[in-house]
């Protein structure tokens, strides 16, 4: 099985902050069934926890968060070397399947 990229937030370079993906719930509803198992991961686990909570509130019952995220927590030198998917030696790739990459859409109306 492959991983789909459906971001909860987008980085706004001008504002230097994360902006919410107003289509997040609708995007997961279009791609997945309510009975599917959804596993969320981000850099350190915070955004993916929020994404899992939003999916659960939208009616998805099998939602999971990778608590430590992909890179884990920062060490005493400020580097992300403590825990995390990558630091634990779990499999990953930087290859991107274009069919699974997120395609930004303007925010749709409520509904």
Report how far residue 31's alpha carbon sits from residue 100's, in angstroms, rounded to the nearest whole number. Answer: 11
Q: What residues contact 35, with CB distance under 8 A and at least 6 apart?
A: 61, 62
Mean pLDDT across the chain: 89
Domain architecture of the chain: domains with CATH = 33-82 (3.40.250.10)
d(CA 35, CA 86): 28
pLDDT tens column, 61-102: 999 999 999 999 999 999 999 999 999 999 988 888 888 888
């Amino acid at each position: 099985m492959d991983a789909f990229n459906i971001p909860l937030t987008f980085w706004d370079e001008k504002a230097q902050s994360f902006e919410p993906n107003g289509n997040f719930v609708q995007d997961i509803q279009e791609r997945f069934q309510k009975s599917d198992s959804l596993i969320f991961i981000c850099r350190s686990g915070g955004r993916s926890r929020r994404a899992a909570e939003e999916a659960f509130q939208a009616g998805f019952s099998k939602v999971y968060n990778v608590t430590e995220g992909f890179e884990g927590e920062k060490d005493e030198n400020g580097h992300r070397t403590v825990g995390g998917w990558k630091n634990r030696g779990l499999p990953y790739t930087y290859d991107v399947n274009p069919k699974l990459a997120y395609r930004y859409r303007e925010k749709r109306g409520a509904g």
